[in-house]
Amino acid sequence: MSSRIELRGVGQTFLVRGNDDRQLREFVALEGLDLDIAAGEFLTVVGPSGCGKSTVLDLIAGLAKPTSGSITIDGTPITGPGLDRSVVFQQYTLLPWRTAQANIEFALEAKGGLSKAQRQERARTYLELVGLTEFAGRYPHELSGGMKQRVAIARSLSYQPEVLLMDEPYGALDAQTRERLQEELVTIWQRTGTTVVFITHDIDEAVFLGQRVAVMSNRPGRIKAIVDIDLDRSGAGDRDVRATAEFAAYRHEVWTLLREEHAPGRPSPAHRKEDAHVA
């Protein structure tokens, strides 16, 4: 139920048109990015905004192909999306015309090989996992933001992927809901053993969730540092892990790494490169 992912020298370039001069140019989002994600690991990725965090996730999801370098999952190159990986996006991506239950069934229909009764049964199981059994018949517009994201997570887990990719899934939620969902996610991860790659811009979230926190550099994105987190998260429901001294120390470490990226007057070689016009 979990896979190893390797990114080697990954680069990603997009074609863009300047707003001011209407010129076509290349935009280097990622360059020479190396990252190893162990099977069953919970890895969080933080970085300055616009550093290419989401691009990394799109590449692992198979929604985009890297311009250079290689990405493998258990040694096999990734060529496109697959049901071994699932993605939870920040924007709610539930089908608004389907109920919570039917949205989970939608993923199972895509997977195939299950009868209607089996799909319904499985959908109920996963709704229970995220604590939404009694909301099975509600349409997305009748659910709160937190509930919608719980359904999205249940949908992603329902077809039992080996890797769960999450792109700032809690970014739009209020602070209390976010903390509760973080705690739930750790529990779910411990129960399912799925590899989780979780993108966020929130340092607290990264430290609370990750076994390791990968800190990305400014554009073009690279992995600047990896911080191992060794926190006792047991009983997170009753104990305020985020108030402990260890948590504060990890938080400060990641904060310092990120702050270096914000330091002004340090033009990276990236700037010259991305301004190069396309011939």
Q: Residues 15, 75: contact at Cβ < 8 Å? A: no
Residue 91 or 234 with smaller CB distance to another protein: 91
CA–CA dist 245, 243 (Å, integer): 7
Shortest distance in whole angstroms from residue 97 CB to another protein: 4
Please pick, from the candidates 15, 21, 141, 279, the single residue that binds another protein as defined by CB under 8 A: 141
Stretch that binds another protein, among 19-27, 89-97, 197-205, 250-258 (CB under 8 A): 89-97
Q: Is 272 in the site for another protein (CB under 8 A)?
A: no
* Structure tokens given for 246: 């260890």
- Is residue 15 part of the contact set for another protein (CB under 8 A)? no
Q: Is 90 helix (H, G, I), strand (E, B) or coil?
A: coil
Q: For residues 155-184, which are near another protein according to CB under 8 A?
A: 159
- Binding of another protein by 126 (CB under 8 A): no
For residue 151, the minimal CB distance to another protein (Å) is 12
Q: Is 191 helix (H, G, I), strand (E, B) or coil?
A: helix
Of the candidates 63, 44, 74, the one whose C-alpha atom is nearest the C-alpha of residue 196 is 44
91 contacts another protein (rule: CB under 8 A) = yes
Pairwise CA distance, residues 156 & 224, whole Å: 29
Q: Which of 8, 98, 124, 233 binds another protein (CB under 8 A)?
A: 98
Q: How far does Cα 25 stand from its chain's mean position?
A: 29
Residues between 44 and 83 with contacts to another protein, criterion CB under 8 A? 61, 63, 80-83
Nearest distance, CB of residue 83 and another protein, angstroms: 6
Distance from the first to the final alpha carbon of the chain: 47
Residue with tokens 């948590």, as numbered in its chain: 247
89 binds another protein (CB under 8 A): yes
Q: Which is nearer to another protein, 57 or 223 (CB)?
A: 57
How far, rounded to the nearest angstrom, does the alpha carbon of residue 132 sit from its chain's CA centroid? Answer: 22
Q: Does 85 bind another protein (CB under 8 A)?
A: yes
Q: How many CA atoms lie within 13 A of 251 on its CB side?
A: 14
Least Å from the CB of residue 96 to another protein: 6
- Part in contact with another protein (CB under 8 A); list of ranges 134-142, 200-208, 219-227, 266-274: 134-142
* Contact positions with another protein (CB under 8 A) in 106-125: 106-107, 109-111
Q: How many CA atoms lie within 13 A of 52 on its CB side?
A: 27
| H or E element in which residue 46 lies | strand 42-46
Least spacing, CB of residue 22 vs another protein, in Å: 21
Name the burial class of residue 51, with classes exposed (0-12), middle (13-18) and buried (19+) by CB atoms within 10 angstroms of its CB.
buried
**DSSP 8-state assignment for residue 140:** G
Question: Where does this chain bind another protein (CB under 8 A)?
Answer: 61, 63, 80-83, 85-87, 89, 91, 93, 95-98, 106-107, 109-111, 139-141, 144, 159
